[in-house]
Structure 1
Amino acid sequence: MSQSAPTKTQRPLSPHLQVYKPQMTSVLSILHRMTGVGLTVGLMLFAWWLVAAAIGPGAYAVFMNFAGSPVGMLLLFGFTLAFFYHLANGIRHLFWDSGLL
């Protein structure tokens, strides 16, 4: 038996993400996931704060110097925004699941 090469069928390709116009629900869903990842990173900073407080005043001073720097303030501000956005979006999902919206 001889095997012939498989023939390619001419099937249409499904459109990629660049074809679709972004909708509000998809953008909010992506932002919700991104803030969840950001909050996970922020929890590492929180753990650093707890460990620094447990180790002693020297380690705590190092953390406070970082938190007081412009980069640290920006990270803490971004963490706060991400937390409240994620919280509000979670409440919105609870309303959707309960059938109120």
Structure 2
Amino acid sequence: MQIEIRRLRDDVPMPEYKTTGAVAFDLTVIEGATLAPGERTLLPTGLVMRVPEGHALILASRSSNAKKGIRLANSVGIIDQDYCGREDELRIAVHNSERTIHD
């Protein structure tokens, strides 16, 4: 399957397979954020992706994110084939699932 990917800026890293055994490519967000416990936000990737007809892309959280208390806000992200306008930047919804504990 071929996925057409367009960068919104020249300095945006392209998705890539980080290891030879990887079954999925890694995405990079181009702006960081500090999230308070329970807070969520959208993080930009600087990418527009065109998914081939009859297919979808699935965003899944890395296992290391759980150790940090960060998860995808919608558990699993689905990018449908019709989500591809010229400026439909892929943004990743994340949630800080950690809780502040009061004594």
- TM-score interval (norm. to shorter): under 0.3
Higher-Rg member (1/2): 1
* Richer in helix (by share): 1
Give TM-score scaled by structure 2 length: 0.20
Give TM-score scaled by structure 1 length: 0.20
* Richer in strand (by share): 2
